[in-house]
Structure 1
Amino acid sequence: MDQATFWSLLDTLAKIGMGALLLAIGLWFAHYRKPSQPASPESIAAKRKLKIYEEVSRQMGNVSHSFAKYSALVIESVRFGARWPQARRAELDNINNELVQEFRRMADAEANLLLIGEKGLEKNLRLYGAQIALFRKQVYVGRRDISNQEIADLKQDIYKLREQFYDVLSKKYDDNVRKSA
C-alpha cells in the first residue's frame, strides 16, 4: 500500500469516527435531557408550598432546640433553688433571649402559613407557642412550689402539640411532593 492510499484511508476512518462520536453525543443528549416544558401553575404553587413547609419546619426545629435548652436550665434552677450558681443564671438569661428571638421567627412562620392558606396548620403552631409561653409562666427561677410531676406534665403537653404540628406538616408536605412531581 502506498503512502497516499494510507493517508486517504486514515482520513476516511477519522471522518467516520468523528461522525460516530457526534451521533453518540447527540443520542445521549436526546435520551437523557427531557424537552423543557413549561411548568403548570399547580406545580409551581406546590413547589412554593414545599419551600415554605421546609422553612417552617427548620424554624420550628430551632424553636424546639431553644426550648429544650431553656427548659433544662429552668428546671435545674427550680431544683437547686438558692444554691443555683450565678453563672448558670446568666446562661439561662442568654437562652431566654435566644428563645424570644425564636418566637419572633415563629411569628414569621405563622405568617408564611397564612400566606399559603394553611389556617389549620397555623393554628396548631400558635397552640404550640402558647403552650411554651404557659410553661415559661409556670416554671421560672426561684419558684419552689411546683413539683417535678407538674413540670413533666407541662413539658409533655408541649411535646404532644409539637408532635401534632409535625404530623400535619408532614402530611401536607407529602401531598405537595406528589403534586409538584
Structure 2
Amino acid sequence: MLIILDRDGVINEYDGSYICTIDDWRPIPGSIEAMARLSKAGHRIAIATNQSGIARGFYGTDILDGMHEKMSQLLEALGGSVSFIAYCPHHPDEHCVCRKPRTGLLEQIRDHLQLDSLKGAIMVGDSRKDLEAGVAEHCQPVLVRTGNGKDTARCLKDRAIPGASVTIYDNLSAFADAFLAGPGLAKNQ
C-alpha cells in the first residue's frame, strides 16, 4: 500500500514558523520509527510537502535537500525508506498546480512511482489542504493531531470534507500502530 505523508506537522515538529535550517528540522517523537515500521512491513512511503519558504527566500533547495537527507538517514538507520519526496517551492500567490490543496504533488508521486492512480492510497496530513488534495486523488484521508492537526480536527466538526470520511489519530505513530494492526483503520482515535 502507498502511504503519502505531509511533512511539517506530521513527520517533523511544526509550530507555524518556517523551518529554515537543517538543525531546526526535528522529527516529532516516534514519527521516524513509525515510518520505519510501515516501510519494513512492505508499504511504500511518499512525501508531499508545500515549501513556500523557498519562494519567500527563507531557505534554498540546498537546505531543503539537507533536511530531507537528515530525515532519510534517520529512517534508513531504522531499516526504512522513502520512495519519493515531492515538494512545492512556489509562493501561494503564484497559483501553481502543485501547491496543496491542488493535486500536482500527488500527481508527481503517482507518475514517479508509475501508478495508474492513487485510488486506495492513504494521505496523512495535519491540515485541511492535505486532506482535500488526497480526497481529490481518491486517497483515504487521515488526520493527525500534531502540527496544525488539533485545529483542523475542530474545524472538520463544523465543515466536513465533501465525500470523505476522515480518520483521526493523535500522531503518526498512533496511525502506524492502528494501520499495522489491521484490518482497516479505526475511526477517530
TM-score scaled to structure 2, two decimals?
0.27
Structure showing greater radius of gyration is: 1
Higher relative contact order structure (alpha carbons within 8 Å, sequence separation ≥ 6)? 1
TM-score, scaled to structure 1 = 0.28
